[in-house]
Amino acid sequence: MPRGNIMLDELFAHVDSLDQDAERVWNEREVDPEEAARFGERLALRMFDQFLNGDIDDDKVGSDIEGEDEEENEREEGQHSDTDSQLPNSVSNLKPSNADTSEPSTPKFTYPPLDRSQYVSRLILLHPGTQPYEITCSLLHLPLSTVSNPDTKDDEISRYIALSYVWGPQSPQRIITINNQPFPVGPNLYSALQHIRLEHAPRLVWVDAICINQADIEERNWQVSKMGLIYRAAESVVAWMGEATRGAGMIFQCLETFEDLTSSDQEIVDSVSPDAKRICEIIFGPISSTLGTLHDGDGGGKDAGEEERKGEKEVFTEEDKQIAHILWSQLDLLLERKLFWRSWIVQEIVLARSITLLCSHHSVSYTTLTHALSRACALRESVGIQSYSPSRTGIMKFLSISSLRTEMREPS
């Protein structure tokens, strides 16, 4: 079965396991769309100003990982949680009271020296493999000439990808092997590396937690000042959204279907099942050949299918409404993931030449999500459902950052 071909029986079979908070959110007070858009724009610009002024409080480069804000953790686990439900007491109480929670010590990793007159950073050459086999890689130098000429991709080392992700808790540590030395990483980064690793070929990757010697404050500060160049020169940025819950997986299947239906390859379009196309059009609106192929760099504004929707109010069946209600709620939750609440994400999205969103084994282009979300918001309004919620500002912020990307990348 082609990717994204979610079936109706699969959708309804898992309704009870999805987040049931949507009714409360949609019944909240109405928000004026223009007011919401202005709020989203202010939020995105504030994040951009924080980045430009160096006022970054993310759990990212230069932050105190060990002292991570407990309130932020509660926010991520509570309001911005996905479809995971809490474990029953009978399960959560199984942890022995005298368990040893201390981390085993790992020998300190020895970084090769970095000649700043020739090199701007390092890259890892991620060796091929599949789960559950261990992650091994080699450390290489990233030449200054590569980031100084970002549009030149005539050698292998210039075709690296840059990883955008959330550091998250660093415990329990996972161990990878770099240059035949053990190297500790956090669980989220370990999971990301597992999913971006290719099965049969090596892959060049820039990832801050590894390529920057975090123990060398002078080097770390110097490389932080070069991160914009590093993301701009990368062939692509991969944004790791974390492991897929059931709801996030369903949304990504719908986004993959949307991407396939807007492909210029008719064979790919024809591979989409009728059920998958129906579900996709319920949440994103009618999709025809007039929509055309999506190109990276496009923003969250009007698309070629907007004329098709003008003045058209969809007639939803009761089943359609139930599907839309379920999936729009899960789409909202997807954009509340912590990745989109980091100040660094503005730099990484705005400067990237292309972006791939990765959630477990699911992947779509950033442009696909931007266009699909824009269409979903328009369709919601057309059937009388408020697109914006006071308690969930992820959509507003995401579309504002997308517009900022478009504006900054347009030729002057």
Residue-averaged pLDDT of the chain = 77
Closest CA to 174 of 129, 132, 114, 143: 132
**Mean pLDDT, residues 340-352 taken together:** 85
The answer to whether 288 and 312 have CB atoms below 8 angstroms apart is no
pLDDT at 134 over 70: yes
pLDDT at 187: 97
Q: Which residue has the higher pLDDT, 129 or 19?
A: 129
pTM, two decimal places: 0.75
**Which position has the token pair 């972006």?**
355
- Residue range 291-308, pLDDT digits in tens: 555 555 444 444 444 544
Q: How confident is the model at residue 69 (pLDDT cuts 50, 70, 90)?
A: very low
Tell me the C-alpha distance between 371 and 129, whole Å: 34
- Residue range 327-336, pLDDT digits in tens: 888 998 999 9
The answer to whether 225 and 52 have CB atoms below 8 angstroms apart is no
Adjacent-strand bridge partners of 168: none
pLDDT at 183: 97
Beta strands 161-164; 174-178: pairing state = unpaired
Q: Which two tokens stand for residue 166?
A: 């959330």
- Residue range 308-317, pLDDT digits in tens: 444 444 467 8
**Mean pLDDT, residues 193-222 taken together:** 96
Phi-psi region of 285 (alpha: psi -120 to 50; beta: other; left: phi over 0): left
pLDDT at 389: 66
- Residue range 232-290, pLDDT digits in tens: 999 999 999 999 999 999 999 999 999 999 999 999 999 999 999 999 999 999 887 44
**Mean pLDDT, residues 53-70 taken together:** 42
